[in-house]
Amino acid sequence: MSSRAHHQFTLFRDRDVLLTGIVTLAACVLSAGLVYLAYLVHVVRTALRAPCAPEQGAHLLLFGKHAPRGRIDTDFAARLDRAAQLWRERPSQHLVLLGGGAQGELSEAEIARRELFARGLAPDTPLQLESGSRDTLQNLRNARQMLGDAVVERVTLLSNRYHLARCALFARQLGFDVELCAAEPRLRLTPRMLLRLAGEAAYICWADIGTRWARFVRSERMLARVT
């Protein structure tokens, strides 16, 4: 089993994750699917409306993506292309590269640094690498620790359009002031993309309802994991 699969398997064995999954499923069933539909509309709307040119973010957070053996896919390449373009337009912007990796392999952040240099960033470009995380929530929690006092400034979240709703949800839960930046010029509703959007909607439905449930039952343990 890969380290990434092991991380996901560990999450789904967690009792809090299982409990919130049951609560989320109940909410969706009792609402005849309307709760899930609302999240799906939100994910699609975010993906459609996200700009490609951020306006105010003092820090650009570039989300990594699984890259087995250092090979990037088209989604990761789109994120990197957009980051390189933004850096050329605003070279003073602080770049934070997010994403860990399996032991003995390059992290997603290290791969991003390599690929950004290949796209024209100067070798002395100031970059911060967050290489200890395995998922989006960990990305942002570690970034919050790295930024310290600077976290009060607005940050730009750069990722693929289908992923931005999840990034925004977690970032706001962690106290970030955010603006979104889409890697792709526009959303292409291919069958593969529709599946991705549906999966993202299920994921953030689970995450958001789980957080609301934790607040309802006043579980400090559960809230500490997502805020």
Q: Which pLDDT tens digit goes with each residue over 131-187?
A: 988 899 999 999 999 988 766 788 999 999 999 999 999 999 999 999 999 999 999
Q: Would you say residue 205 has pLDDT above 90?
A: yes
Query: Higher model confidence: residue 48 or residue 1?
Result: 48
Residue 204's CB is within 10 A of a number of other CB atoms, namely: 21
pLDDT above 90 coverage of the chain, percent: 70
Average pLDDT of the residues of the chain: 90
| Residues ≥6 apart with Cβ < 8 Å to 97 | 62, 64, 108, 109, 112, 113, 116, 127, 128, 129, 130
State the average pLDDT over residues 221-226.
81
Residue 20: pLDDT over 70: yes
| Residues 172, 144: Cα–Cα separation, whole Å | 11
Q: What is the pLDDT of residue 45?
A: 98
The per-residue pLDDT for 6 is: 46
Evaluate the CA torsion angle 72, 76, 81, 87 in order and state its sign.
negative
* Sequence-distant contacts of 171-178: CB under 8 A, at least 24 apart: 171/140, 173/211, 173/226, 173/227, 174/140, 174/141, 174/144, 174/227, 175/144, 175/151, 175/227, 176/140, 176/144, 176/151, 177/152, 177/153, 178/57, 178/154
Which tokens is 61 given?
Answer: 């957070």
Residue boundaries of the structural domains of the chain: 3-46+191-224, 55-182
Counted residue by residue, the chain has a size of 227
DSSP code, position 176: -
d(CA 201, CA 187): 16
| pLDDT digits 0-9 by tens, 72-110 | 999 999 999 999 999 988 887 789 999 998 888 899 999
CATH of domain 55-182: 3.40.50.620
Backbone angles phi, psi at 198, to 5 degrees: -65, -40
CB 87 within 8 A of CB 125: yes
**Residue 119 confidence (pLDDT) above 90:** yes
Interval 36-41 mean pLDDT: 98
